[in-house]
């Protein structure tokens, strides 16, 4: 039985364009999931802004769902506008944390992945 996402339970937030969703993103997701139990993935609807954003939201969502199919019920994907900054006015009860990745994962380039896709 697949557990449903619990909207009343605290959830980590993972923001990105995911153009495309790749192994570095998946590794960050797994790190977040291990620490928090569930993840809210906020996908910026950045399609068409420039050549770095060739994928529409529904395509990005489909790729994330496919990549994370073994974690159904542990995450929710929500479309958001393009983010310029994340702001809070005071101590708000949640943390800001950067996940440390290996050099191999940190060096994954979505730009290089897009070039491979479009040169085939």
Domains of the chain in start order, with CATH, are 12-118 (3.40.50.620)
Report how far residue 109's alpha carbon sits from residue 83's, in angstroms, rounded to the nearest whole number: 20
pLDDT > 90 in the chain, percent:
63
pTM: 0.86
Report how far residue 51's alpha carbon sits from residue 53's, in angstroms, rounded to the nearest whole number: 5
- pLDDT > 60? residue 1: no
- Which letter does DSSP use for residue 45 in this model? -
Which pLDDT value is given to residue 71?
96
- Higher-confidence residue of 17 and 3: namely 17
Please provide the average confidence, as pLDDT, over all residues in the chain. Answer: 91
- Give me the residues paired with residue 15 across strands: 42
- Higher-confidence residue of 51 and 79: namely 79
Across the chain, the runs of DSSP E, i.e. the strands, are 12-16, 39-44, 75-80
Which pLDDT value is given to residue 95?
83
Give the H or E element holding residue 50: none
Report how far residue 107's alpha carbon sits from residue 98's, in angstroms, rounded to the nearest whole number: 16
Mind listing the pLDDT tens digit for each residue in 52-107? Answer: 899 999 999 999 999 999 999 999 999 999 999 988 888 878 888 888 888 988 88
Report how far residue 24's alpha carbon sits from residue 108's, in angstroms, rounded to the nearest whole number: 7
Which pLDDT value is given to residue 2?
62
């Amino acid at each position: 039985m697949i557990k449903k996402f619990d909207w009343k339970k605290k959830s980590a937030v993972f923001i990105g364009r995911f153009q495309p969703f790749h192994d570095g993103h998946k590794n960050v997701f797994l790190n977040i999931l291990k620490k928090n139990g569930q993840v809210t993935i906020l996908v910026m609807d950045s399609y068409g802004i420039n050549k770095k954003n060739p994928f529409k939201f529904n395509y990005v969502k489909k790729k994330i769902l496919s990549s994370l199919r073994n974690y159904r019920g542990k995450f929710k994907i929500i479309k958001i506008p393009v983010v310029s900054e994340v702001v809070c006015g005071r101590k708000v009860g949640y943390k800001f944390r950067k996940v440390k990745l290996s050099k191999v994962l940190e060096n994954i380039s979505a730009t290089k992945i897009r070039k491979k896709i479009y040169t085939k």
